[in-house]
Amino acid sequence: MKKTLVSILLSLVGIVLVLGLWSAISAKIAPDLPSPSKTWEDSALYVTKPWEKRGEMDQGIGLMTAYSLLRVAKGFALALLIGTPLGFLLGSSPLFFRMFDPTIQILRPISPLAWLPLGLILFRQSEPAALFTIALCSMWPTVVNTMQGVRAIPQDYHNVAKVLRLSPWRKFTKIMLPATLPFMFSGYRLSLGIAWLVIVAAEMLTGTPGVGGFLWQEYNSLIYSHILLCILTIGIVGFFLDRLMGFAEARLRAV
Amino acid sequence: MSNNRPLEISSLSKSFETPTGPITVVKDFNVRVQPGEFVALLGHSGCGKSTVLSIVAGLQSATLGGIVVDGIEVTEPGLERAFVFQSPSLLPWLSAIENVFLSASQAKPKLPAAQQKELATKYLNLVGVGEYANELPTALSQGTQQRVAIARALAQEPRFLLLDEPFGMLDSLTRFELQDLVLDLWEKDRKTVIMVTHDIDEALYLCDRIILMTDGPEATVGLDLKVPIPRPRHRHQATSHPEYQRLRDRIIGFLESHSKQFQPEKEAA
């Protein structure tokens, strides 16, 4: 109890120090950088009325975040739907692995900024292009972790399945899936982190409403305070998403 | 259910590919196991006895020769041959009863689930761990886990029980308890049992017959000994039997004379 209190206090001290540094930089070094208080003044309307829609790109931060989250959820779901079975295939079939692993290693490090134009060409619309980019960038940790999970299944369990003559489906549901689940969720957690990183890039380039789109528009409108508002929002939302997945992961590991 | 034909391990050879060329672990191995017989495969670690057993189970394939059950060659696992692994190998996400149920439901797929569950409960009780039915394996001691694993094998209602050093990972007191359990279970229905072990006393106490294997590579049957100690056996009565000491000396003599050809011990495959 006392320990948590101390860590909460310490993290507050840390936040105050960073705010102080931020104020100092904006006052002494970079006059274009809005100070914390200026940021709050300019952003108060967006934060205190988070669900107000005043125009297409002029909406409360709650609504903007919701748009982005919805987009991330769709892209992430797509990533899991493709990534999980792909991971299972790569993990269970050495042939499949040897066939596709080199390709995957090449596709993995490609930036969302590179995928997005391709998505726009393919789909001719910004929304599906954004989802395509999110899915393609964020699915790799899911693929790799699921694959490693399948590989890590002890030989003993495979032997149990053989001795008991489990059908492929029963082996999958009784052994493969439960054995791989913790690995899958580690992958999901990393994938969600990437999906959230990618959303900003995708919205900036497509100009769709959302935290990323708003950030880019306010940069073009020279309202720098709002850029900071968006950055803080992205950070806080990302933090909570990770915590949420971490919580789900811990529950699975406990089993 | 009963069948009077032996299980035959016939001209069995097993080779593995290695970077330096193929190695023949077991060569021309012949054993006929009579119905109801309790047989031990005994030998130094790494001599290939586990390999033989896993070929009998259908977990590995023979390079030459094979396994004949009821006059038919078998190359795959079958529910009539149950296997108890050295480590309990219970599925950790399933409770004790669910682990046994999985096996019962595989062996009796046509039975309604309630009866499969009854079967699982029956065997869990039979091995003396009914009270832990709803526990996950990780909450159980090694000995209890191995009991559950034995229940899982029995729930298949197999004709052949294949035991791969089933007590190797247990402390000696627990090992004694489980040996007595297996002996009691065997007295009830006299299944055919093939057990791999490197424990001479265990083999003498439990088995009708001990097959001593020569050292690998190219391991084969070295000695085939009957254990004429009367049944039902009790530990003290068995160990004080004059044949016990005589056989024990003979086995030790055999193993010692064969260990000279054997290089530093490798772990069993």
Domains of chain B: 7-80+159-259 (3.40.50.300)
* Interface mutation vs chain A, best among B59, B135, B163, most A CBs within 10 Å: B59
Q: Quote the pLDDT of residue B135.
A: 95
Instruction: Give the strand pairing for B160-164 and B192-197.
Output: parallel
- Count of alpha carbons within 13 angstroms of residue A244, beta-carbon side: 9
State the first-to-last Cα distance of chain B, in angstroms, to the nearest integer: 34
Task: Specify the pLDDT at position B268.
Answer: 44
Domain coordinates of chain A in residue numbers?
37-254
What number of other Cβ atoms are within 10 A of residue A154's Cβ? 12
Q: Give the torsion through C-alpha atoms of A90, A93, A99, A104, to 10 deg.
A: 10
Q: Is A187:A144 a contact under the CB 8 Å cutoff?
A: yes
Q: Six-digit token pair at A212?
A: 């990323």
Tell which CATH architecture fits domain A37-254.
Orthogonal Bundle (1.10)
Per CB-CB distance under 8 Å, the chain B contacts of A154 are 89
**Tens-binned pLDDT, residue by residue, of chain A (255 aa):** 788 899 999 999 999 999 999 999 999 998 889 999 889 988 888 888 888 888 877 888 899 999 999 999 999 999 999 999 999 999 999 999 999 999 999 999 888 888 999 999 999 998 999 999 999 999 999 999 999 999 999 999 999 999 999 999 999 999 999 999 999 999 999 999 999 999 888 898 888 889 999 999 989 988 899 999 999 999 999 999 999 999 888 887 765
- A32: amino acid identity, one letter: D
- pLDDT tens digits for range B226-240: 999 998 899 999 999
**Residues in B touching A178 (Cβ below 8 Å):** 91, 93
Average pLDDT, chain B: 91
Q: Determine phi and psi for A69, rounding to 5 degrees.
A: -65, -40
Report the pLDDT value the prediction gives residue B266, as an integer from 0 to 100.
44
Contact A64, A124 (CB under 8 A): no
Is some CB atom of chain A closer than 8 A to the CB atom of B61? Answer: no
Predicted pLDDT at B122: 95
Q: Compare all CA atoms of chain A with the CA of B79 and give the residue at the minimum distance.
A: A164
Task: Output the DSSP codes for A97-159.
Answer: HHHHHHHHHHHTT--HHHHHHHHHHHHSSHHHHHHHHHHHHHHHHHHHHHHHHHHTS-HHHHH
User: Is A88:A146 a contact under the CB 8 Å cutoff?
Assistant: yes
Taking the Cβ of residue B154 and every Cβ of chain A, the question of whether any pair is shorter than 8 Å is answered with no
Q: Is B168 on the interface with A (CB under 8 A)?
A: no
So what's the pLDDT on residue B262?
47
Range list of H helices, chain A: 2-24, 36-48, 61-92, 94-107, 112-123, 126-151, 155-163, 168-171, 177-206, 211-220, 224-254
CB-CB under 8 Å, B59 with A159: yes
Q: Which residues of B touch A157 (CB under 8 A)?
A: 89, 91
Give the predicted TM-score (pTM) of the model.
Answer: 0.85
Does position B264 have pLDDT exceeding 50, yes or no? no
| Predicted pLDDT of residue A56 | 79
Query: CB distance B59–A162 less than 8 Å?
Result: yes
- Give the residue, B119 or A200, on which the prediction is more confident: B119
pLDDT at B263 over 50: no
B160 touches chain A (CB under 8 A): no
Q: Check residues B269 and A226 and name the one with the higher pLDDT.
A: A226
What is the distance in angstroms between the Cα of B164 and the nearest Cα belonging to chain A?
12
Query: Which chain A residue lies closest to B55 (C-alpha atoms)?
Result: A163
Is the CB of A175 less than 8 angstroms away from the CB of B91? yes
